[in-house]
Amino acid sequence: MRYLILLALLLAAPAGAQLYEDQLEPAELGIEELAATVVPPSVYVGPEACRPCHEAAYVKWLGSKHARTSVWLHTRMARTLIAPRHGIKASSPEKSAVCLGCHGTGVDAPAAYRDPGFRIREGVSCEKCHGPGADHVRDPKIDLRRPAETFCAENCHRPKESHAVVGAKPFSFATFYPKISHLEPKQDQ
């Protein structure tokens, strides 16, 4: 419910009150605190590019919290309770590569590796888990990563003292995976 209220507030914001990420073209996006860029294996294209072939996965993702994770960085909780305990130096959480490292996708990629359709505000999107998808979109025979069970806890869902205020239950793959699972029905052949 909190997320719906937050989204409603963001949508109701006066024209011109854009999110930080919206004010910049991906090519211009500079993330404060980014020490170095990492050249990824392919270009990030954003979830809309996956949708034509993976509609069910797209719909499941869009309804999940992963699609909201960058929006959370604009909240008062992020700014006043979590950021100070995390010791970030950036002027605000949504400009911090530290926060966006978990709450966003491909933030450390050089600008040339972000397609114009890619938006950081889309949060933990397909390519966070599967890797950048431009080559696969062009030729689906080029496989993307299938993340292993350990991927979630190793990368983002580890205990964080800074996040105590969130009050999240300790991460359990068995409990949480069904909330985002998007395996496709097997084709009979």
Residues that bind ligand HEC (CB under 6 A): 2, 45, 47, 49-50, 52-54, 57-58, 61, 66, 72-73, 75, 77-78, 82-83, 86, 88, 93, 96, 98-99, 101-103, 124-130, 133, 136-137, 140-141, 143-144, 146-147, 156-158, 160, 163, 166, 168, 171, 180, 182-184
- Nearer of residues 24 and 157 to ligand HEC, judged by Cβ: 157
CB-nearest residue to ligand HEC: 133
- Nearer of residues 29 and 144 to ligand HEC, judged by Cβ: 144
Q: How far is Cα 21 from Cα 7, in angstroms, rounded to an integer?
A: 16
Residue the block writes with tokens 């604009």: 74
- Provide the minimum distance between the beta carbon of 52 and ligand HEC in the complex, in angstroms, as a whole number: 5
Which tokens in the block code for residue 49?
């590019």
- Nearer of residues 34 and 57 to ligand HEC, judged by Cβ: 57
CA–CA distances in Å: residue 86 to residues 1, 129, 163, 178:
26, 24, 8, 30
CA–CA distances in Å: residue 100 to residues 21, 61, 114, 135, 185:
11, 18, 15, 24, 33
